[in-house]
Structure 1
Amino acid sequence: MDFAALRDSMVASLQHDTKGVVEAEPVGRAMRSVPRHAFLDEGHRSYMDQAFEHRGTTVLAPSMAGRLLESLAIESDDSVLVVGAGVGYTVAVLAEIVGPKRVHAVDITRSLVIDARRNLHNAGYDAVLVDCRDGASGLPEYAPYDRILVEAAAVRPPDALVRQLAPGGRLVMPTGTGDQRLLAFEAGRAVRDFGDVGFAPLLVEGEQADAIERNRTRREDVERASKAAERRRGWEREWIDWESQDY
């Protein structure tokens, strides 16, 4: 199967006036080079303009990935942080533009970090650093970053990410809860609106797909109920214990 031809066709459709989400340079050129099928078990379907599900997360459709990448206004010497590495595809496109050693990525889901590392290695971008972190905390060890891309929604950019942005840098992320907008932030304020989007929320520890208990409220309720039971004394404790026995 000629995957190079499929990539050319995919990018041509994204550049066509009917979509117009990708420019020839540098994003279009990079998307023509990155083997998208190395990041998905979908063969030729990897180059269709559709999203896929993987380990509880959404692998963005090429048109949405293109919108995100173009909104960054990336330059060849930029240092980049991606929050929400996923399977690693958008990370690889950025690595194609600025070089793998200038791209860092984090994801809160450990199984996705493992997958992204493997996929990036197989695609020839193994110099990218991918770490398992809470995305809202970023990766301060390698800050500042000229560009930060957040592939998850929040009401506003997390303070830690804003602090990790270099002077003159740009942070792009979906903002809002119900109705979301893709916004670019510079110097702590929104400077560009790239339209409607629909992304999953930025997760915190305990909410990731491979956590032992994803729903924090449920987990906390169970813990509180257990502590309350331990505080009971006398006949009340004996009565509740008797009721809970299975005869």
Structure 2
Amino acid sequence: MNFEIARKRMVESQLLARGIKDQRVIDAMLKVPRHLFVQEAMAANAYSDTPLPIGEKQTISQPFMVALMTELLELSGRERVLEIGTGSGYQAAILATLVDRVYTVERFRPLALQARRVLDSLHLLNVNLKIGDGSEGWPEEAPFDAIIVTAGAPEVPAQLLQQLAVGGRLVIPVGTQFEQVLKRVTRTADGFQSEQSVGCRFVKLVGRAGWGIDD
């Protein structure tokens, strides 16, 4: 399979056709080899219009959702970005090609270790990764210019809002365990402004500021 051709087709049919316009995001999606972030047996499906399982009952998001969430952050290139839910590492790789520094948190050690291996193989050395409760963010490194949450939460965690810099944007799926709405929250000097984007469905954000393990 020619993965470069598959990537170009993915961008044309799934991103451009659905209104993704940020050229930097488009270039990143063309550059990052998505097939390296999925299980080898699923590499042929890496550029299909669907999420894929990556182990630990987690998934790699469909390409359009990765592009949309990244575009909603409105990144210029110098930001420090926090990602909650490293998963396969693909979203972190996209961010790493676009910003100065990425901080990413993953709950599952096997996923974190695998993501680190792939990121290192691509020489994406501007990604800091730790294993822990992502719902509480990474307070030691706050504030962040942007925060992206790749798991559905019952509400926007207050801990993450407090770690957002003034002028920064947080993108997160919010709703039930089975259906969410993608929200963007911008921090202003006076507080927070919230906007809704599209309906979506993510795995649940588990942690002290998210869903419980048994929910």
**Off by >6 Å, runs of 4+ in structure 1:** none
Mapped to 2, the partners of 1:51 and 1:15 lie a distance apart of: 15
Partner in structure 1 of residue 21 of structure 2: 23
Partner in structure 1 of residue 67 of structure 2: 66
Contact 1:35–1:123 (Cα < 8 Å) also in 2: no
Q: Percent same amino acid at aligned positions?
A: 35
Which one has the bigger helix percentage?
1
Mapped to 2, the partners of 1:108 and 1:166 lie a distance apart of: 24
Matches within 5 A, 1:39-54: 39-40=37-38, 41=40, 42-54=42-54
Contact 2:206–2:213 (Cα < 8 Å) also in 1: no
Higher mean C-alpha deviation, range 121-130 or range 53-62:
121-130
Contact 2:153–2:205 (Cα < 8 Å) also in 1: yes
Mapped to 2, the partners of 1:24 and 1:170 lie a distance apart of: 16
Contact 1:6–1:44 (Cα < 8 Å) also in 2: no
Matches within 5 A, 1:1-247: 1-17=1-17, 19-20=18-19, 22-40=20-38, 41=40, 42-55=42-55, 56-99=57-100, 102-177=101-176, 179-187=179-187, 189-204=192-207, 215-216=213-214
**Measured at CA, do residues 216 and 43 of structure 1 come closer, stay the same or move farther in structure 2, by a change above 3 Å?**
closer
Partner in structure 2 of residue 224 of structure 1: none
- How far apart are 1:216 and its partner, in Å? 4.8
Runs of 5+ unmatched residues, structure 2: none
Q: What amino acid sits opposite 2:168 in the alignment?
A: G
After superposition, the C-alpha distances for 1:167-224 in whole angstroms (9 at most, x for unaligned) are 110111011115421000112534321121111221127x99xxxxx9558xxxxxxx
Higher mean C-alpha deviation, range 78-87 or range 108-117:
108-117
Mapped to 2, the partners of 1:215 and 1:144 lie a distance apart of: 28
Contact 1:116–1:130 (Cα < 8 Å) also in 2: no
Q: TM-score, normalised by structure 1?
A: 0.77
Q: What amino acid sits opposite 1:176 in the alignment?
A: G
Q: What amino acid sits opposite 1:98 in the alignment?
A: V
Q: TM-score, normalised by structure 2?
A: 0.88
- How far apart are 1:23 and its partner, in Å? 1.9
- Give the number of the structure whose alpha-carbon radius of gyration is greater: 1
Partner in structure 2 of residue 225 of structure 1: none
Q: What amino acid sits opposite 2:106 in the alignment?
A: D
Runs of 5+ unmatched residues, structure 1: 209-213, 218-247
